[in-house]
A and B are shown apart, each in its own frame.
Chain A
Amino acid sequence: MPIGRLFSGSGREWATPSASRTTGPIEGRRRRFPWLRTRADKVPWIPIFIIVFLLLLPALLADVITVHDPLRGVLADRLTPPAWIEGGSWTYPLGTDKQGRDLLTRIIYGARISLAVASLTILVGASVGTTLGLLAGYFGGWIDRVVSWLIDTFLSLPIVLLALVIVAVIGPSFVTIVTIIAITMWAYFARQVRGDTLAAREAEYVARSKVAGSSAWRILLRHILPNIANTLIVLATLQVGVVILEESSLSFIGAGIPRPNPSWGVMVAGGRDQVLIAWWISLFPGLAILLVVLSLNLLGDWLRDFLDPKMRQRR
């Protein structure tokens, strides 16, 4: 059971005497208060809105929608507070940092870094992990033993320590951070896919396909993969949030995206020493991380309920 499996409304309504009579207390409450309906009913528009406007659009359009330079600031305007606070100006809506760089501009460019790291690591992790997970789950035997052991091993790697060592030796870079995160990312996908494939292998449609003379490859790619695609989509969505948290943490301790690039983690670190006099430098980039990851988690939870056929039937 993956960490994310948690709010998946799997709990059936409990059979209290009143529930078995006509409408239970929960059903009744649901009719009166629509927001208590099951999560699969309503599309999470707010999280989608946040993901689009705080992550996707800024990442794609960063150079079109910003006017300031994300790397070079105006020293005369250093430590300008946000616009709505005394001393602030709408030239710098969220204020500037100690080098006079516009925070909003840097947050917008930061989305580009977060999205780039997340999509690359998840692309690599999902392809490697899915392949190994399918093979291990379907063929079993020594392949399964080797892959399972590899999963355990890679999930036991002290990843922060590894990142610190690699970066201390060859220096921080975009490629380094993507490699470090991808090293463990595949294992999460492999673990999930292996489990799903193990279950799918016993399904009726696989047995029939075998009888019909399908090759193992055909069964894996045409029958099992489409059937486990839903959990893969959910896992990938949730892992985007995990990667953004990992990348920003590593960047924060100097083992990720090198300064002065506007990674959200780098920005929070840059404001750490000034938090008492210029709180906005650390507050806003961290808030961006929190909002985006929160939205991704909500979206992932909803997707799981929505894509689960059992949940759909119940609607």
Chain B
Amino acid sequence: MARYILINSVRGVLTILAVSFIVFFLARLTGDPLDVLAPVDMSREDEQALREQWGLDKSLPEQYQSFIINALQGDFGPSFLYPTETAAGIIAGRLPASIRLGLVATVLVVTIGIPLGIFSAVKRGSLADRIAKGLALFGQSVPEFWLAIMLIWLIAVPWNFIPTSGIGSWSSYILPSFVIAIFGIAALLRLFRSAMLETLGSEYIKLARLKGVSEFLVIMKHALKPASIGPLTFFGGVAVRMLTGATVVEIVFSWPGVGLLAFEAANARDFPVVQALALFTATVIVVMNLLVDVTYTFLDPRVRLGQRSLA
């Protein structure tokens, strides 16, 4: 088990390194940041000074090396766009808004997606099942940016107690969190439905029923526990998507989180911020995947015992 975690951690670190490599060279090879940032009337000397200050006068491998060394200490340098602030500081300032929104969305996903999935499987073929399947299909297919605009038009504006943009009271969370959650709801609903159908058809469920275990206990205890393992591994991906992939939703609702920051920083070619964001995102994804892998191994007795007997 320890060996398994170690191997996966090493792979994860390599993945983050690769992401840093791609983002760094992509950003540098496609243009000189000074083209965008330096004022047009800047003197040659000032430009040279700026270059040295940002380390842009060194060779690319040198720049990459110092980038990695500094990044390991959480130092991504000052933002090009706001030179008085560090890139890490800017991200840290924007992170709480995204995390709060992501948490609300996660709560929606769990409290809507999972119960609907279970219910849908238990009442298979019923009207409720078909409505749930329709909801899942809709959530999987709807473009989030469009749904956001339509909700602003149909809900936020007519009932003007819901804000159309920005972060404010609790009501400003309603629309953005719902739009972010809709995909996750659809995914978990489908996953739990099919996993429940699978376990409900198995031999030990028949045995439990024959033993006279109540239907409620059969569903909530005997079937739900094993059925949860598969979907949980996918929940990792869903959670990552909600924490990092909310860019489009944050843009539509002018939500001051890291998604909107990514949009602003990329458009301004603010490389320190963009690189820091890319590494942060990749790290979140890698750590999430690792956690999911470990949880999965831990939860599934077949995998867990198999691993132990090998070690």
Contact = CB atoms under 8 A, between A and B. Distances in A.
Interface stretch (A121-129, A130-138, A149-157): A149-157
Contacts of B252: 272
B201 A268 contact: no
Contacts of B133: 7
A153 B230 contact: no
Given A164-B262, A275-B153, A297 B146 contact: no
A290 B143 contact: yes
A6 B278 CA distance: 31
B31 A169 contact: yes
A272 B140 contact: no
A43 interface: no
Nearest to B16: A156
A300 B169 CA distance: 42
Contact of A249 (B144, B191, B289): B144
B193 A6 contact: yes
Interface stretch (A67-75, A82-90, A200-208, A281-289): A281-289
A282 B146 contact: yes
A298 B137 contact: yes
A6 B121 CA distance: 12
Contact of B146 (A160, A164, A241, A290): A290
A158 interface: yes
Contacts of A289: 143, 146
Nearest to A145: B11
Contacts of B124: 11, 26
A293 interface: yes
B194 A253 contact: no
A253 B247 contact: yes
A157 B190 contact: no
Interface in A217-242: 241
Contacts of A255: 266
Contacts of B190: 3, 6-7
Interface stretch (A12-20, A57-65, A190-198): A12-20
A164 B153 contact: no
B146 A158 contact: no
B23 A162 contact: yes
A158 B206 contact: no
A161 interface: yes
B105 interface: no
Interface in B1-47: 11, 14-16, 18-19, 22-23, 26-27, 30-31
A23 interface: no
A: contact size bracket: 35 or more
B142 interface: yes
B248 A156 contact: no
Interface string B243-265: 01101100110000000001100
Contacts of A241: 141
Contacts of B198: 10-11
B138 interface: yes
Contact of A164 (B16, B191, B267): B267
A168 B266 contact: yes
Nearest to A155: B285
B26 A162 contact: yes
B263 A5 contact: no
Nearest to A249: B248
Contact of B145 (A13, A152, A165, A252): A252
B194 A5 contact: yes
Contacts of B193: 6-7
A160 B262 contact: yes
Q: Which of A149, A152, A170, A279 has the most CB of B within 10 A?
A: A152
Given A26-B124, A156-B286, A253-B247, A161 B262 contact: yes
Given A11-B197, A286-B143, A161 B230 contact: no
Nearest to A287: B146
Contact of B150 (A26, A157, A245, A286): A286
A36 interface: yes
A9 B258 CA distance: 40
A76 to B, nearest CB: 26
B242 interface: no
Nearest to A3: B187
A290 B142 CA distance: 5
B282 A169 contact: no
A265 interface: yes
A276 interface: yes
Kindly list the 5 A-B residue pairs having the minimum CB-CB distance in the complex, ordered from nearest: A11-B197, A286-B146, A164-B266, A6-B190, A12-B201
Interface of B: 11, 14-16, 18-19, 22-23, 26-27, 30-31, 121, 124-125, 133, 136-138, 140-147, 149-150, 152-153, 157, 187, 190-191, 193-194, 196-198, 200-201, 205-206, 209, 230, 234, 244-245, 247-248, 251-252, 262-263, 266-269, 274, 277-278, 281-282, 285-286, 289
